[in-house]
Amino acid sequence: MKFPVGVTDNRLESSGPLAVFTEPKACDSRGPIWLADLAAGTVRKLYVPPVAVCIFEPAVSGQTVAWLEAQGASTWRVKSLRIGASTPTTIATFRAPTEQAGVIRLDDQALAYVEPGPAGEGDTIHLLAWP
């Protein structure tokens, strides 16, 4: 399978027959999240944010995709999207410097993400049961 023209592998995450990846763009543009169906050999845009954001750490499990979205210098949102839906859900919001991207992991039962702590302090790991 080949990436679309002009797109390179950036934060590729796979689960079973599906994979997600971001289109590497500057944070002041609207880089989409792409969904690859590995069994069918197809790639399509899954989500394009309506405003300029930085998307980090996309993860996929089952029929759900989740990611971290940086908005501005220090606001982060944890978002999820059911494949086939058009509007994502904001699960959590926290503040941290944008150079401290968190990490997100997703499986069929839980969503976990890292909220970076202030300088000199530890980070916080959040674990959320998945509906």
**Residue 109: inside a domain:** yes
The residue range of the domain holding 116 is: 13-129
Contact yes or no for 117/102 (Cβ under 8 A)? no
Contact yes or no for 29/52 (Cβ under 8 A)? yes
The reported pLDDT for the residue numbered 62 is 86
**Residue 3: inside a domain:** no
Contact yes or no for 55/23 (Cβ under 8 A)? no
pLDDT tier at 65, thresholds 50, 70, 90: very high
- The total domain count for the chain is 1
Q: What is the CATH number of the domain that holds 42?
A: 2.120.10.30
**Residue 99: inside a domain:** yes
Burial label for 38, CB within 10 Å (0-12, 13-18, 19+), is: middle
Q: For residue 28, which of 59, 62, 73 has the smallest C-alpha distance?
A: 73
**Residue 4: inside a domain:** no
Give the tens place of pLDDT for each residue, 98-125: 666 677 888 888 888 888 877 777 888 8
For the whole model, what pTM was predicted? 0.82
**Residue 98: inside a domain:** yes
pLDDT (mean) for 50-68: 88
**Residue 1: inside a domain:** no
